[in-house]
Amino acid sequence: MIVPLALNLLSARSRQRLSILIYHRVLAHKDDLHTDLPSVAEFERDMGWVARWFNVLPLDEAVRRWRAGTLPARAAAITFDDGYADNLTQATPILRRLGLSATFFIATDYLDGGRMWNDTIAEAVRRCPTAELDLRDLDLGTHPLPDMAARRAAVARLLPAAKYLPQARRQEVADAIAARVGQPLPDDLMMTRSQLKALRDAGMQIGAHTLSHPILANLSGPQAEAEIRGSKQELEALLQQPVTLFAYPNGVPGRDYRREHADMVEAAGFEAAVTTAAGATHPGSLAAQLPRFTPWDQTATRFGLRLARNLLGQEATH
C-alpha cells in the first residue's frame, strides 16, 4: 500500500517531528448541518489509520521527548478542543479500544450544561420554524432557510460574522438569534464536571482552553491573563492534579492570539501550548506555540499522504 511505503521513506526525515492532530467533536451519526464533523464510524476509521501508521504518544510525553530529542519516527499526538460531552461518550471508547490516548482542552465556563455561542447560533438556525431568518437589525442580513443546505450555508455565514465581535456582544447576538427563533435548544452538548473526571479516569489527559473561549487578541492584558490562569486553576482544583498543557481558542497566530499571550501561557506554568496553525513540531518550534493539523480526506491514501506532507511542512491550505 502506498501510504505505509511513503511513511517508511519518511522515517529518517521525520525524526524529531511531531504531528499533533486536532478534533472538536465525534458524532454518533452524520449531521447534515455539520458535515465536517466526523461520525463514530469515520473517527474509528481515521484512528485505525493513525494507529497503524504513527507512533501515538500522550501529548505531555511527546513534548518531553521532543525537548529531549528522543521522539520516535512518525510521532503523533491526538487532541480535542472545547469540552464536548461526545468526547467522552463517543470518542473515548474508540480511543481506548485502539489503545490510544488523547488530550482534551477544556473551556471551563461551559462545564455542567453550558452551550458555546457558536452552538447557540447553529442550533437556533437548525430549529428555526420559518423559511427565512431576518437578522438585519443585528447587522447580520437576511437568511433564506428552505432546506438543510440553506441552513448549513446560513450557519457558515453567521459564525464568521459573529466570531470576532467583542465577547459580550458576540454572546448577545447569539442569544438574540436564539430568542428570535423561539425554540428549545440543547443544553447537554458540553461535558459536566463528573464527565470530565470520568474522562481523566479513562486514562485521557486534560488541558486548559481558557475560561470562556474568547479571542485573546481582543482582550486587555489583565483579562487575557485571567482567562489563561483561571482555566488552569479551575481544572487543577477540580481534578486535583497539575494541568500543564494549553490550547489557544481559535488558535490562529497573530489573529487570535499574539506573542504576549504565549508569554502569559509560559508565565502561568504551562509546559506547552498548541495552536491551529498547520504543520508539524520540529526542533526549532516554540513550546508555547506548537502547530496542529487534521486531514479531512475520506480515503486511506489521501488521508495518509496529506499527513505525510504535513509532517514535512508541505501542507497546503486548501
Q: What is the pLDDT of residues 89-100, one digit of tens each?
A: 999 999 999 999
Q: What pLDDT, on a 0 to 100 scale, did the predictor assign at position 53?
A: 93
Whether 317 has a pLDDT exceeding 50, the answer reads no
pLDDT tens by residue, 265-281: 999 999 999 999 999 99
If asked whether residues 20 and 168 sit together in one domain, one would say no
Residue 125: its pLDDT value, please? 98
Residue 122 counted as domain residue: yes
What's the confidence (pLDDT) of residue 143?
97
On the question of pLDDT at 1 being above 70, the answer is: no
Q: Tell whether 318 is covered by a domain.
A: no
Q: Say yes or no: 167 and 209 in one domain.
A: no
The residue type of 104 is F
Percent of the chain surpassing pLDDT 70:
93
Q: Beta strand pairing status for 55-56 and 18-23?
A: unpaired
Sole residue written with cell 514535512: 312
The pLDDT value recorded for residue 8 is 59
Q: Average pLDDT, stretch 21-30?
A: 97
176: left (phi over 0), alpha (psi -120 to 50) or beta: alpha
- Nearest Cα neighbor of 106 from 288, 243, 12, 202 is 243
Q: Is the pLDDT of residue 282 over 70?
A: yes
Q: Does pLDDT of 298 surpass 60?
A: yes
Query: Who's near 145: CB < 8 A, 6+ residues apart?
Result: 125, 128, 130, 131, 132, 133, 151, 154
Tell me, yes or no, whether 99 lies in a domain: yes
pLDDT at 315 > cutoff 60: no
d(CA 288, CA 263): 8
Residue 146 forms part of a structural domain = yes
User: How many domains does the chain contain in total?
Assistant: 2
Within this chain, do residues 128 and 50 fall inside the same structural domain, yes or no? no
Residues 174, 99 share a domain:
no
Last residue of some domain: 181, 211, 237? 181
Q: Of 181, 202, 235, which one is at a domain's C-terminal end?
A: 181
Report yes or no on 48 lying in a domain.
yes
* Residue 317 within any structural domain of the chain: no
Asked if residue 236 and residue 171 are part of one domain, the reply reads no
Separation of alpha carbons 61 and 64, rounded Å: 5
Task: Classify burial at 93, counting beta carbons within 10 Å of its beta carbon; exposed 0-12, middle 13-18, buried 19 or more.
Answer: middle
195 with 56, same domain?
yes
Confidence label for 128 from pLDDT (cuts 50, 70 and 90)? very high
Q: How long a stretch of residues is the chain?
A: 318
Residues 253 and 290 in one domain: yes
294 and 220 share one domain = yes
End-to-end CA distance of the chain: 25
Q: Do 153 and 238 fall within a single domain? A: no
pLDDT category, 12, cuts 50, 70, 90? low
pLDDT confidence of residue 16: 80
Give the model confidence (pLDDT) of 39-53 as tens digits. 999 999 999 999 999
- Average per-residue pLDDT in the chain? 92
Question: Of 131, 146, 181, at which residue does a domain stop?
Answer: 181
- 2-16, 41-55, 169-183, 190-204: which range is least confident on average? 2-16
Could you tell me if 214 and 278 lie in one domain?
Answer: yes
List pLDDT tens digits, range 159-174. 999 999 999 999 999 9
Same domain, 71 and 164: no
Measured CA to CA, the distance from residue 160 to residue 97 in angstroms comes to 36
* Closest C-alpha among 252, 298, 244 to residue 36: 298
Taking Cα atoms as reference points, which of 96, 73, 69, 61 lies closest to residue 4? 73
pLDDT digits (tens, 9 = 90+) for 206-262: 999 999 999 999 999 999 999 999 999 999 999 999 999 999 999 999 999 999 999
Range of the domain at 279: 2-33+40-112+190-311
Read off the pLDDT of residues 130-151 as tens digits, 9 standing for 90 and up: 999 999 999 999 999 999 999 9
